[in-house]
Structure formats: C-alpha cells, structure tokens
Structure 1
Amino acid sequence: MVADSLRSWLIDSDPALRWQVERDVLREPADVWEATRARVATEGFGAQLLALQNPDGQWAGGAFFPADFDGSEAPGQPWTATTWSLNSLREWGLDPAVLRARRTVELLDENSRWEYDNLPYWGGEVDCCINAWTVANGVWLGADVEGIVEWFLEHQLPDGGWNCEWVEGSTRASFHSTLNSMKGLLEFDIALGGTDETRAARRAGEEYLLTRKLLYTLSTGEKVGPWVDHFFYPPRWTYSAITAADYFRQASLLDGTAPDPRMEEAIGVIRAARQTDGTWLQGRPHSGQVWFETDAPEGERSKWLTLIGTRVLTWWDSYYR
C-alpha cells in the first residue's frame, strides 16, 4: 500500500511509467494497466522516440554510437543510437508490433552494423552488455538471436559471471557485465521459455552475485564500488543494488522462487535510501547527449526510482514480513 499523496504523484506520469505503477504498485486489474500501456506508442516518451527513428530503421544513424560520433565528446557518450533507443522503448513497454510494422528487424539487418568489426546487428559482437541488450531487443521484436544466446553459454567465466573485458584477457567476472548478461538471458527465458542451459547459466550468474550479497567483493569483503549504492535512472549499463534487486524480483516471478536471504543487506541499502515520504531521490545520471529527459534532475524525487524501489520492497516484504 502507498499513501494517497504518493499514489497521486506516481500516477501523474508519462504512460511509459504510469502503466507499471498501475500494475506493480497499485495492483490495478490488467485491463486498466494494459490500456495505459497501449498509449506508449501514441503519447509521451514512446511517441517522441518513435518519431526519431530513421527511415533505415536506426536511430541517430548508428548501432551503438551515432553515425557522426568520433569519440571526442566529453564528458560521457551519446545515448541516442539504435541500441539505447530500442532499450528504452522495450523497457517502457511499447507494443513490439509497432516496430514490426515498420520492418525494424529487417531494416536493421540490412542497414545496421556494429562499430566493432562492422559486424551485422542481429549477430551481436564481443561485448557482453551489448550482446545482452541485443538478445533482449531481439526476442522482443522477433529477431533470430539464438546465436548470441549460445555465445553467452560459451563465454561464461569459471566463477559463474561474465566480463566485457574478456577480450582483453580478463578471467574474473564483473558485477556490471554479469547483471546485464543475466538480464538478457532472463528476457530470452521469459519470451521463449528458455532452455536447461540458459536457465543454468542464469542461475550461475545469480549465485555469483548472491555469494557476494549483491554488494561486496569476495576477496576483501569491501563494497565492490561507489556505484553499488548510487541509484539513478536510467541506469544504462551500470550495476547497483536496486537494479540487481529488480532483476531478482523479475526472475523470482518467472521461476516461482522466493527471494534469497543473502539479499537482505542489499535490501537494507535500498530501504535506507527511501525518503520519509516514500520516494527515492535521483542520483547523478550518466553524462552525454540524450534525445530528451525522462526523469527528475539530480537530487530531486525520482518517479522511476520510486517505482522500482517500491516494487522491490513490496516483493521482498511479501516473503519476509
């Protein structure tokens, strides 16, 4: 349950956020939140981003970076190219039929190449995070990404996680790479039912994070990095306790499992960040060009983080309170 004031504040939102509030926080009937979700294609953030798609199927003329990106932009990077735009539309709940009607899968197959080695878009490349987003976007849109799924099984490290720096010789997993890889596999499992192999790979990644209580290095027991309790939206590629906990919530709903007790400290970190009015404050987002802003400025109340934090704590408390 949420206070009436918080309920009204959250509901007064873009359809991309509102339908998730209705479903996950207010527990409205499906016909209510599905009607709101349908508006993502025609109103607000979703409609704005759809209008920016190029005739060739891409955004900003590139796969991961805009066509005119030369690496000189500072600070940060642009967040406007195809992968980031697809990530947003998928996470906002756009009906994939809208992009299928535009032949987006076929157009990207014809026109989009990764900046790494000019590889074809739906074939993925060598970066775990990029490949995870491509799997998630691919199963959402109906592209054939099973080759990338197999790639994840082949590139899982002995400790159970993944690391985008494997191409540089790294043999130890990264919190960031592992969580993003797990998210991609989870979307595959949700959309297509998964396989014994993908479920086993995902659970090995989960064990990697749970062994570390979602917060700490295994070698020293110290906090893994300053980003672990720094919450902001959109998180892009960055790991934090709140994004990890929301992954485990989604996996729990799919797998029919209870939250692992080893998450307790991470849940405490999330709970401690909640303000007295039930909201979470926006941290410092990534620098770099965006199409438009979708959340509050740094230090102000974030509707997106409040949605995510509230649904995580509601899920956890339904088992442990």
Structure 2
Amino acid sequence: MRELTGWLLGSDPALRWQVERDLVLAPEGVWRATRALVGVEGFGARLLALQGEDGMWAGGAFFPAGFDGVGVGQPWTATTWSLTSLREWGVEASRLEGTVGLLAANARWEYEGRAYWEGEVDCCINSWTLANGVWLGAPVDGIAQWFVDHQLGDGGWNCEWVEGSVRSSFHSTLNSLKGLWAYEVATGGTDAVKGARERGEEYLLERGLIRRLSTGEVVGDFVGEFRSPFRWGYSVLNALDYFRGVGRKDPRMEKAVSVVRAARQDDGTWLQFGRHPGEVWFEVDVEAGEPSKWLTFFALRVLGWWGS
C-alpha cells in the first residue's frame, strides 16, 4: 500500500491534494498548501491560462465557437466543461474573479440563446452550471428550483425530457444529484431542493445503482466501465463516490461495491476503460488499458469509506 500511495502522491497537484486529504489523512495545513498550488501550476494553471478576455473558453458556453457537430465525440474545451474541471480540481474561486460578470455579459447557451446563469433545458448542463455557479458566487437559485420543477415521476431526471421522455436516466440523475448537493452544501438549500435530491437518490438506490427496476437486469455495460475524467458518464464508481460525498451508506449498494472491488488489479490499481472521445485542451489521464491514478484514487476512497 505504501508503494501505491507513493505512486498516487507523484501526481499533479489537482489530484495530489485529494490523495493527501482523503487517503494519507495528512494534516490540513499540508493538503491545503498542495491545493493552493492547483491554480499556479500543473493542470489548473494551464487551463486558467486558456480563458478568453470575454470570460469564456473556446468562445462558447457548452460547445466551442463554430462547432458544427462534425467529428468524434463531444468537445470538452468550452466554458462549462472548463469551469467544471477547475472546480473539481480544487482551484480557488478567487482565481476566477470577474468571471461571473463576464459570462453574464457575453455567454449565451447554444440552445435558444439563453443567458448563461439562467441555465439551459438539459438537466446535466444545468447541474454543472448550478455547481459552478455556487462555487463562483453566481445567482443560480433559479436553476436549483428548475430541478424541483422538472423532476420526473419516477424520481429521477432525463436530459431527453424535452423530447418527451418520461423515464429517468442513470446518467442524468447522477449528474443532477451532484449539482443539487453542491447547491445544498454552499447555500443550505431549501426543503424543496433537499426533497428532490433525496427522491433522486432513492431512484438510484431502488435499482442498487446497477439494474433496471422492471426486470432486475443490469442497466448497461457502462455501470462497470470506469472512465477518467468521469465527464457526464455514469458508472458505479462515479455513483458510489457521490454517495460517499453526501455520507449516505445503504445496504442496497453492496453489489455496486463488489463491482468496484472486482476491477482491482493484482498490483492494487484500477485500469482506464477509455477516455470519453472528443477534443480536449490537454489530456489529464492515461489511455485505455493503463493504470489510472485518478480511478485508483476514487476506488480506494470509495472502498475505504465503505469499509470504515
């Protein structure tokens, strides 16, 4: 374990401070000092330097300016994805001073041209905007209420509701929950938001994080395909790390935990299943089939929490 921990500590500050805090249990002063480096070196500093004078990345809200839909995969270079990465890496909001106002003035969603901080119609996009908004101090209460108003009858969410879908999606529901939890942590939330989040959690728990409620069959191969960065994609590792963050253990998670355990390699690492395809500013994790520091960290953190 000591060799594995040393391997993880030899990472970019964006990951290293989290290893120090959650696996090594280093003193707060140690991991906070490492976290402060994220905005001035490594991945965080590189991405911050790519922000345009208009406050955006790649000139677009969700897609790069001029994106025509041609190519392999979703581009990951535009504003929403860039902000989400910076937040998840632990960059201090003060490093983005003025960004809230710049985006309010300059950024519009590609769908219907809505103002950036008013949110979109896609629940996944709204989730990232909600979490990024409370991190930066933007006025996003309306987006939080949007989730209450657009929760489906089965308790979850689906980004395709606008096309008429009335059945929730594992992917959309997990992403929605992450945004709602970030909002609650930052603001205390409202009873309505908390209730919506708890119903959304129950949607996943009723299904053991892994199977269809109707047939009991595994909902899809994606549940055991661990990809880093997580992006929009559901997996049991992604879901379990969410429940770890909110501090909710439930015996219905046991099968999902066993999937994570089973993916561990003989050397104690977890392998990259494959990065989500699409244009990036720069890569932050390994190619498919290689041991991933990020996935190994998330898996060790989840299993440590589960066994504690």
TM over 0.5: yes
State the one-letter code of the partner of 1:99: L
Partners of 1:110 and 1:295 in 2: CA distance? 34
Q: CA deviation at 1:155?
A: 0.3
Give the CA deviation at 1:235: 1.5
Deviation at 1:290, TM superposition (A): 0.4
Query: Given the alignment, which residue of 192, 198, 206 partners 1:197?
Result: 192
Letter in 2 for 1:150: Q
What SS is found at the alignment partner of 2:204?
A: helix
Q: Which residue of 1 aligns with 2:80?
A: 83
* Aligned residue in 2 for 1:26: 24
Unpaired runs of 5+ in structure 1? none
Instruction: Supply the AA of the counterpart residue of 2:281.
Output: W
Q: In the aligned structure 2, how far is the partner of 1:285 from the partner of 1:17?
A: 17
Secondary structure of 2:83's counterpart equals: helix
- Aligned-pair CA distance for 1:68: 2.0
DSSP-derived class of the 2:76 partner: coil
Unpaired segments ≥5 residues, structure 2: none
2:132 paired with 1:137: yes
Cα deviation, residue 32, structure 1: 0.4
CA distance in 2, matches of 1:180, 1:108: 22
Identify the match of residue 224 of structure 1 among 214, 219, 222.
Answer: 219
Normalized against structure 2, the TM-score is what?
0.99
- The residue number in structure 1 matching 2:286 is 296
Once residues 210 and 116 of structure 2 are traced to their aligned partners in structure 1, the CA distance between those partners, rounded to angstroms, is 34
Q: How many residue pairs align between the two structures?
A: 308
Distance in 2 between the 1:130 and 1:83 partners? 8
Structure 1 distance, partners of 2:99, 2:15, is 24
Deviations 1:1-33 (A, max 9, x none): xx1110110000000000000001111111000
Superposed counterparts of 1:168-187, under 5 Å:
168-187=163-182
Instruction: String of CA shifts for 1:169-225, please: whole Å, max 9, x gaps.
Output: 111111011000000000001111122211111110110000000000111111101
Question: Does 2:260 match 1:276?
Answer: no
Alignment partner, residue 248 of structure 1: 243
Q: Percent identity?
A: 64
Cα distance in 2 between the residues matched to 1:144 and 1:128: 17
Amino acid at match of 1:195: T
Root-mean-square deviation (CA, aligned residues, Å) is 0.7
CA–CA separation in structure 2 for the residues paired with 1:274 and 1:266: 14
Return the alpha-carbon distance in structure 1 between the equivalents of residues 268 and 250 of structure 2.
24
Matches within 5 A, 1:1-321: 3-73=1-71, 75-100=72-97, 103-252=98-247, 257=248, 259-318=249-308
Normalized against structure 1, the TM-score is what? 0.95
Q: Which amino acid aligns with 2:264?
A: R
C-alpha deviation, 1:309, in angstroms: 0.4
The structure 1 segments of at least 4 consecutive aligned residues displaced by more than 2 Å after TM superposition are: none
